[in-house]
A = this chain, B = another copy of it.
Amino acid sequence: MRDLSRDVSFLSINTATLKTLTLRQAVETLSRHGIRAIAPSRDRLAECGVPEAARILADHGMTVTGLCRGGMFSAGDGASDDNRRAVEEAAAIGAQCLVLVVGGLAAGSRDIAGARRIVRDGIAALLPHARQAGVKLAVEPLHPMYAADRACVNTLAQANDLCDALGPGLGIAVDVYHTWWDPCLKAEIARAGTHKGRILAFHICDWLVPTRDLLLDRGMMGDGIIDIRCIRGWVEAAGYRGHCEVEIFSAENWWKREADDVLRICVERYQGRC
């Protein structure tokens, strides 16, 4: 396993962790902390425009570990156009992948199997465009508590099955928050590892006990019960050599703190607890 304790070479920060900052503010703050990798959300790009965002990122030498997000394939006809735009934005900022939060049940539907077919077909339809643009698509299995309304891909096994079925250009974002509970996690990470480059991103934060909100109560690494280092070991054994991307949604805690404090603690925990 890589030794992360000495620097921040493989640390990336998702802009969701620094909720209140614009892209420029986020990039400048990260730079002050020596952090050279970021994963922006599309709304941060939209605020300044994609060309300006690309300039800001390039001027600061930022590695873009992912663009958040495409997907929502069950949302209806608009999804297709929006996903093509997301691919173009990912290409414009040189993102290592476009993260796909695939969507849950269609409005009024109780057909989870049907939703999963819609997702498979939606990714299949988007893939040629992504390949042409040179953008990798990273399907992100989300925790089963989001199966109804955010993502009906809930296990790494499902994500591996999609990659097997749909071929090159599709990979996986492994997020410890969404997957730590899965009894098949180790085996499915190893399965992903048999395909070079399939694991496109590794997201970290922590599961708090108790968790007070389904969406906005994620913890800082070390504050919860996920054995992050263990999972990182599995991911690295599977060949992953990319960044650890910190993605913390935390309305009542981390989003209320100063960005400099959040980053200082991110670095400390990344080096000591991951």
Contact = CB atoms under 8 A, between A and B. Distances in A.
A149 B225 CA distance: 10
A209 B116 contact: no
Contacts of A210: 149, 214
Nearest to A179: B144
A207 B148 contact: yes
Contact of A149 (B157, B209, B226): B209
A143 interface: yes
A155 interface: yes
Nearest to A154: B181
8 contacts: A111-B227, A143-B144, A147-B181, A148-B209, A148-B225, A154-B183, A211-B214, A214-B214
A180 interface: yes
Given A143-B144, A144-B144, A214-B211, A112 B181 contact: yes
Contacts of A183: 116, 154-155, 157-158
Interface in A200-228: 207, 209-212, 214, 224-227
B148 A145 contact: no
Interface of A: 105, 109-112, 116, 143-145, 147-149, 152, 154-155, 157-158, 180-183, 207, 209-212, 214, 224-227, 230
Nearest to A182: B144
A144 B155 CA distance: 11
Nearest to A111: B227
Given A149-B210, A209-B148, A226 B143 contact: no
Contacts of A207: 148
A180 B112 contact: yes
A119 to B, nearest CB: 12
Contacts of A105: 209, 225
A218 to B, nearest CB: 13
A144 B146 CA distance: 11
Contacts of A211: 145, 214
Contact of A144 (B116, B152, B181): B181
Nearest to A227: B110
A162 B157 CA distance: 21
